[in-house]
Amino acid sequence: LEATGNQRVVEVRVEVTRGNIQMSMIADRIKSECWDSMKQSGQFLRSMKTGKELCNFPMRENKSMTTKANRVLFLRAVEKKEEEQRSLERIQAGEATSDSNEHSGGVESPKAANVENENGGEDSPTDEGEEKSEKVQGSAVEQMLYSSFVLIGQLRKRSQMLILELVLQERKATFNARFEEVRARKLADVDKILDLNERIAEIHAELRMDDEELFVPRMHEREDKGSVLVVKDTEVEVQKYVSPQELEAARAKKAAEEARARAGEGGDFNE
């Protein structure tokens, strides 16, 4: 029976060890895919007074999507330049037609008149450029977006999808940059408040005003982005395994404490 029990113990130990190794490998893979590969890890910022929390945008590095989107942006930039060139050629052709009609003394053609009316006269190119410059807002990536009126065909729709993804990533990065600025400002304010508390405590000691409590700011645990990778003992619900040697040592320690307690009680009684 003893040999069978020892063999069973060895088998269970090997099985548990193998399971722990598998779980460790899975944990390392998850950490590598979901944490180490992140361009920006998730992080919280907690208010010192209200306790409200603000989270940044976790961003993952996606080189394939970025490469494809940059190629689409290049093609879209070429397309916009071609549109501007064709528009300029149409305007120049309309001006040349109107000039020839004026020199010949003939009647202006309806086509040239329509072009002139649409452009708003001689100053229309400049006015149109000024209007465009006033309407242009956002980043260079946002300027590459297609208008809803020309968003037809699968190619343009797919290109619009990739450009929108870049716009979204750009706005997330902008928000994360402002998030880091606010976090750095909070850290500086916490250090400043702690320094002021030391000076106020000295003044209170001189005035013998020890009863007044000071506000002590602290960084919350969730504000540490590495805390998500740390497992506390309180989070483990499974009872810890105790070997026979550890159990015997705990019993001996408890017996010694009880003996000292009885000896102390006996000494007090004799006194």
What local confidence, expressed as pLDDT, does residue 82 receive? 87
The answer to which of 82-86, 120-124, 231-235 has the lowest mean pLDDT is 120-124
What are the tens digits of pLDDT across the range 109-162? 444 444 444 444 444 444 444 444 444 455 788 888 888 888 888 888 988 888
Q: Work out the burial of residue 66: count CB atoms within 10 Å of its CB; fewer than 13 is exposed, 13-18 middle, 19 or more buried.
A: middle
Compute the Cα dihedral for 83, 84, 88, 89 and give only its sign: negative
The answer to which of 87-96, 156-165, 243-252 has the lowest mean pLDDT is 87-96
* Mean per-residue pLDDT, 183-205: 89
CA distance 117 to 111: 10
What are the tens digits of pLDDT across the range 2-60? 788 888 888 888 998 999 899 999 988 988 888 888 888 888 888 888 888 888 998 88
